[in-house]
Structure formats: C-alpha cells, structure tokens
Amino acid sequence: MKTKEDFLEGQLILIDKPLNWSSFQAVNAVKWAIRKRFQLKKIKVGHAGTLDPLASGLLIICAGKFTKRIHEFQDMPKEYEGTITLGSSTPSYDKETEVDNVYPTNHITHELIHKTKELFLGQIAQKPPVFSALKKDGKRMYEYAREGKKLEIKARFVEILGFEILDIDLPEIRFRIQCSKGTYIRSIAHDFGKALNSGGHLSSLRRTKIGDYNVNNAVTPANFKEVMNV
C-alpha cells in the first residue's frame, strides 16, 4: 500500500474512465479518495489529456509532484478503438448532438472503405469539431456552438501513425487508430464519411493506450476507492 509521502512525492495513476463521466469527475474521484485516505487538506491532482464524456478508457492521472510531468504524458501518441456510423452526420461529429443530415451508403463497399482509409495515414490536416473545448477569444468553442454562432476554424496538422479497420457491418465500421497528440477522432469520423461521398459520425470511442501505458493496467474510479480503503 502506498503511503501519504508516496502520493505527495508523486504518483502516476492509470484510470479506466467510465462512459458518461467527464475527465474532471474522474480526477475529482481520485483526489477525494487520496485526501480521505490520508486526511489531507490538499494535494495536487491532474490528468494528462482529456477524454470526452462519451468516450471511455485510459486516463493518466498525476498526483503530488508528478503533476509537473503532465506535459510529458500529453505529448505521447495515443491509441483508440471505436465505431464510425456511416450515412449520417451530427453537428458535434458524435452522439452528443442529434443527426442533422443523412446520406446514401449503397455505393460503399468493403474495398472502398479500405482504400479510403489509406488517405488518412501519415500527416493530415484536420479541423477540430465546433463542439470542442478549444478556446477562441477566451471562450470555449462548444459555448459558441451551443449559442448557434458560426466560427471560422483553421485546419491543423496531426499525424496518423496507424489506422486499422477491425470490422465492417454497414452502416458501422469498427476501427483502431494510433495518432499524435491533438488528433480529434470525431473529426476523423466526420471526414471519413465525407471521403466516402457520404456522411459519418463517431458512435463509440475507447482510448486503449497512451505511449506504452495500457488501459488493461488501469482501474476504474470505484476500484481506486476500494484500493484506498475509502
């Protein structure tokens, strides 16, 4: 069992974030458990890379002096597994918002999907979703989007290190992707649909790796509380 001093000196905690939890909620659950276990008034706790509430999986949480190393983990490549639903798009590029357009899918073949996937390998330019936590003029972009305001979003370069199609059961495609930091998988789903002359949105997502850290070695917030005996 780790001691109070261990946590203050610095600990890396691998959390398997549940679906519909925010990254902030996961950090708060870990922070509460540490403070409760050791009767601490305060301890620094932070995460190294946000996961959307509609995504599950690996969240690296740093406690104590390890919070100074958060940027190291943020810079590491990430791996995700998920599902793209073809034939429909949403304003948020995922299931947070309702379908706003539907498209034909009759022309989409397995061969076309695999061929189109190749267009997304290497360095690509992508626009972040309007429903994102990026800031413009001190305000989150999703706040503008919810107010119905249109923004000019600049494309930026990201790197797709690997992209596998795991299963095709139209209109759904199951995939695994390895990418650089700053990559929006929601944008990949949206752009993939467009590249197929159809539409697409992200219908499920799970982060499986950050660098060499694997979600198989992570615990849920509930498990962490049990380990801490609180």
Q: What is the CATH number of the domain that holds 196?
A: 3.30.2350.10
Read off the tokens for 99. 């379908």
Residue 12 lies in domain: 4-75+212-227
Nearest C-alpha neighbor of 49 from the set 76, 29, 68, 31? 76
Whether residues 56 and 91 fall in one domain = no
Read off the tokens for 225. 């509380």
Looking at residue 164, its pLDDT comes to 98
Mean pLDDT over all residues of the chain? 92
Residue 200 vs residues 38, 62, 88, 184, 193: alpha-carbon distances, Å = 48, 35, 5, 14, 4
Whether residues 57 and 86 fall in one domain = no
Task: Using the predicted structure, report yes or no on whether residue 155 has a pLDDT greater than 90.
Answer: no
Whether residues 59 and 124 fall in one domain = no
Whether residues 134 and 149 fall in one domain = yes
Looking at residue 48, its pLDDT comes to 94
Kindly tell me the burial class for residue 167, based on how many C-beta atoms sit within 10 Å of its own C-beta (0-12, 13-18, 19 or more).
exposed
pLDDT (tens digit, 9 = 90+) per residue, 118-139?
999 999 999 888 766 666 666 6
Q: Peptide bond before 171: cis, by omega within 30 degrees of 0?
A: yes
Strand partners, 93: none
Task: Using the predicted structure, report yes or no on whether residue 71 has a pLDDT greater than 80.
Answer: yes
Q: How confident is the model at residue 148 (pLDDT cuts 50, 70, 90)?
A: low
Q: Which amino acid type is present at position 206?
A: R
Read off the tokens for 115. 């061929």
DSSP string, 9-73: H-EEEEEEEPTT--HHHHHHHHHHHHHHHHT-S---EEESS---TTEEEEEEEEEGGGGGGHHHH
Highest mean pLDDT among 118-132, 145-159, 203-217: 203-217
Of 11-15, 54-58, 226-230, minimum mean pLDDT range: 226-230
Total domain count, the chain: 2
Q: Cβ(167)–Cβ(174) under 8 Å?
A: yes
Q: How far apart are CA 34 and CA 13, in angstroms?
A: 11
Read off the tokens for 163. 């992209």
Active site residues: 52
Whether residues 102 and 182 fall in one domain = yes
Tell me the average pLDDT across 51-55: 93
